[in-house]
Amino acid sequence: MYHETPNRRAGAAPGIIYAYRRCGPRGSQPPLLLLQHFRGTLDSWDPALVDALAAERDVIAFDNAGVGLSTGSTPRTIRDTALDTMAFLGAVGVREVDVLGFSMGGYTAQELTLLQPDVVRRLVLAATAPRGAPGIHGLRDDVLGHTCSGEPRAQHYLYTFFNHTEASQRRGLEFFGRYIERERDRDLPVSAAAREAQCEAMLEWGVPDGDALRRLGGIRQPTLVAGGDSDRVIPPSALRLLARSLPDARAHLYPDSGHGFLFQYHHEFAREVLDFLR
| Interval 206-231 mean pLDDT | 95
Residue 26: name the closest of 88, 94, 90, 85 by CA. 94
Domains and CATH numbers, the chain: 2-277 (3.40.50.1820)
Of 111 and 146, which is predicted with more confidence?
A: 111
Phi, psi of 262 (to 5 degrees): -70, -20
Could you tell me what percent of the chain has a pLDDT over 70?
95
User: How far is Cα 104 from Cα 202, in angstroms, rounded to an integer?
Assistant: 7
Tell me which DSSP letter residue 181 carries.
-
pLDDT, one tens digit per residue, over 23-76 is: 999 988 999 999 999 999 999 999 999 999 999 999 999 999 999 999 999 999
Phi, psi of 9 (to 5 degrees): -135, 145
Residue 257: name the closest of 233, 228, 236 by CA. 228
Residue 230: name the closest of 251, 253, 250, 263 by CA. 253
User: How far is Cα 236 from Cα 226, in angstroms, rounded to an integer?
Assistant: 9
- 141, 144, 146, 149 alpha-carbon torsion, rounded to 10°: -130
pLDDT score, position 268: 98
pLDDT score, position 27: 85
Query: Which amino acid, residue 163?
Result: N
pLDDT score, position 11: 94
Half-sphere exposure of 187 (CA within 13 A, CB side): 33
How many whole angstroms from its chain centre is CA 134? 20
Q: Which residues have CB under 8 Å from 86's CB, separation 6+?
A: 112, 115, 116, 119
Residue 28 CB-density burial (10 A; 0-12 exposed, 13-18 middle, 19+ buried): exposed
Taking every pair of Cα atoms in the chain, the longest distance, rounded to a whole number of angstroms, is 49
Half-sphere exposure of 126 (CA within 13 A, CB side): 27
pLDDT, one tens digit per residue, over 185-198 is: 999 999 999 999 99
User: How far is Cα 264 from Cα 253, in angstroms, rounded to an integer?
Assistant: 13
* Helix, strand, coil percentages in the chain from 3-state DSSP, rounded to 5: 45, 15, 40
pLDDT, one tens digit per residue, over 132-165 is: 999 888 776 565 555 656 666 778 889 899 999 9
pLDDT score, position 271: 98
Residue 251: name the closest of 221, 223, 277, 271 by CA. 223
Phi, psi of 134 (to 5 degrees): -60, 140
Q: Which residues have CB under 8 Å from 64's CB, separation 6+?
A: 18, 36, 70, 74, 75, 81, 84, 85, 88
pLDDT score, position 144: 58
